[in-house]
């Protein structure tokens, strides 16, 4: 079979391994994982790997992705608060959705009545990160209104941090969520089964056993894919950080100066570039660009390679210091960060290759 470039090699066995490790440390703290598929466009082989590893709940921000997974036997959770334009789909194709607007929840209730369903919601509370969520002072009023809606089940409280405001989850902000749950249960004489305590940034508290014991769900994406928690960027013990490798092919290789010749205007993205004069260097152009990757999210596996920059379709590398003598057609490999993974998985120009798909079932 002819190999296509650029491509991303996806090691299913490593993904399954990462999930099993993360699941094990979470289960020790009585926490269930919703595996987040949005960073990989809910690609079927990856979601199937989630299920093989024993995951029963798949979470994604896009209805299109959840719809694509409709015949898989698992609970589907919509992460992004619903748009009014997708309400019927939300009720039909997701079992649980995260919500923060009472007017949207009442539309969900109407749709659920029409479709003769009960729709589960997790009410998002903003504990300080300033992305989605009801402010703490408004939680009780909102809950009171939700409880009047017959076709809506208040399945849990949730929060999201370290996304917009880079607020790190801690005993204080997660503790507020726990206190709210207790207040709600007492005031309305109900049980709130789930407290969803955030994303991969909450894992450090699981690892060092400081996560409040009432937190019983986390929504985990990046840690599964790249093997690290996201509060401090630490690797999770025994996890792989290289389940995804991007590969591109060299199409030009020449010795050139490091300072462009001529008057400097702005680049293809409207930025005025700055150049450091390193003299004549061996430059390799790899056929991959900003349509496929995020330049500062790429790390060459060969540590002697430096990245000069990229335009839409060309990545320019400094290979002067490499031990290997490259030729046209050679393939350069890169590790990725989450933002780069997201773009590569979304780009139709990056071929996806899966390996170790027969990896064991947990």
Instruction: Tell the smallest beta-carbon distance from residue 264 to ligand PLP (Å).
Output: 38
Instruction: Tell the smallest beta-carbon distance from residue 133 to ligand PLP (Å).
Output: 10
β 217-220/32-36 pair status: parallel
Instruction: Tell the smallest beta-carbon distance from residue 67 to ligand PLP (Å).
Output: 18
Q: Which is nearer to ligand PLP, 61 or 142 (CB)?
A: 61
Q: Which is nearer to ligand PLP, 88 or 337 (CB)?
A: 337
Q: Which is nearer to ligand PLP, 59 or 319 (CB)?
A: 59
Q: Which is nearer to ligand PLP, 320 or 335 (CB)?
A: 335
* H-only helix segments in the chain: 12-28, 44-52, 63-68, 87-93, 102-114, 139-146, 171-188, 203-207, 222-226, 338-346
Spatial CA neighbour of 199 closest among 39, 362, 41: 39
Cis peptide before 288 (omega within 30 of 0): no
- Contact yes or no for 354/45 (Cβ under 8 A): yes
Instruction: Tell the smallest beta-carbon distance from residue 39 to ligand PLP (Å).
Output: 6
Q: Based on C-alpha coordinates, what's the Rg of the chain?
A: 23
CA distance 348 to 88: 29
- Contact yes or no for 150/109 (Cβ under 8 A): yes
- Residue least distant from ligand PLP (Cβ): 221
Residue numbers annotated as active site: 38
Q: Which is nearer to ligand PLP, 38 or 281 (CB)?
A: 38
Q: Which is nearer to ligand PLP, 80 or 281 (CB)?
A: 80
First-to-last alpha carbon distance for the chain, in angstroms, is 31
CA distance 93 to 65: 10
CA distance 71 to 91: 16
- Residue 358: which residues within 8 A CB-CB, separation 6 or more? none
Instruction: Tell the smallest beta-carbon distance from residue 253 to ligand PLP (Å).
Output: 37
Instruction: Tell the smallest beta-carbon distance from residue 201 to ligand PLP (Å).
Output: 6
- In the complex, which residues of this chain contact ligand PLP (CB under 6 A)? 36, 38-39, 61, 79, 98, 160, 199-200, 219-223, 230
180 CB-side CA count, 13 A: 30
């Amino acid at each position: 079979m002819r190999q296509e470039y650029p491509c991303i090699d996806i090691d299913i066995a490593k993904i399954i391994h990462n999930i099993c490790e993360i699941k094990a440390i979470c289960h020790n703290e009585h926490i269930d994982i919703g595996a987040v598929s949005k960073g990989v466009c809910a690609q079927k082989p990856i979601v199937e790997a989630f299920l093989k590893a024993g995951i029963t709940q798949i979470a994604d921000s896009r209805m299109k992705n959840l719809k694509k997974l409709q015949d898989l036997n698992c609970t589907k959770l919509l992460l992004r608060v619903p748009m009014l334009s997708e309400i019927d789909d939300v009720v039909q194709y997701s079992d649980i959705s995260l919500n923060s607007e009472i007017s949207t929840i009442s539309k969900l209730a109407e749709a659920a009545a029409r479709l003769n369903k009960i729709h589960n919601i997790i009410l998002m509370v903003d504990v300080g990160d300033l992305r989605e969520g009801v402010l703490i002072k408004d939680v009780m009023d909102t809950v009171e209104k939700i409880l009047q809606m017959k076709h809506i089940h208040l399945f849990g409280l949730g929060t999201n941090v370290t996304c917009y405001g880079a607020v790190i989850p801690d005993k204080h902000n997660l503790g507020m969520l726990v206190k709210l749950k207790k207040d709600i249960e007492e005031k309305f004489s109900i049980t709130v089964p789930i407290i969803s305590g955030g994303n991969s940034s909450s894992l450090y508290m699981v690892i060092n056993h400081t996560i409040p014991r009432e937190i019983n769900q986390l929504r985990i994406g990046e840690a599964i894919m790249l093997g690290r928690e996201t509060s401090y960027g630490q690797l999770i013990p025994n996890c792989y950080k290289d389940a995804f490798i991007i590969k591109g092919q060299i199409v030009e290789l020449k010795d050139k100066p490091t300072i462009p010749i001529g008057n400097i205007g702005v680049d293809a993205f409207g930025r005025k570039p700055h150049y450091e004069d390193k003299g004549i260097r061996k430059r390799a152009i790899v056929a991959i660009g900003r349509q496929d990757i995020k330049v500062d999210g790429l790390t060459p596996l060969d540590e002697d390679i430096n990245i000069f920059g990229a335009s839409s379709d060309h990545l320019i590398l400094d290979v002067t210091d490499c031990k290997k003598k490259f030729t046209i057609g050679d393939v350069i490999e890169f590790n990725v960060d989450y933002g780069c993974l997201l773009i590569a998985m979304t780009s139709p120009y990056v071929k996806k290759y899966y390996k170790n798909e027969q990896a064991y079932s947990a």
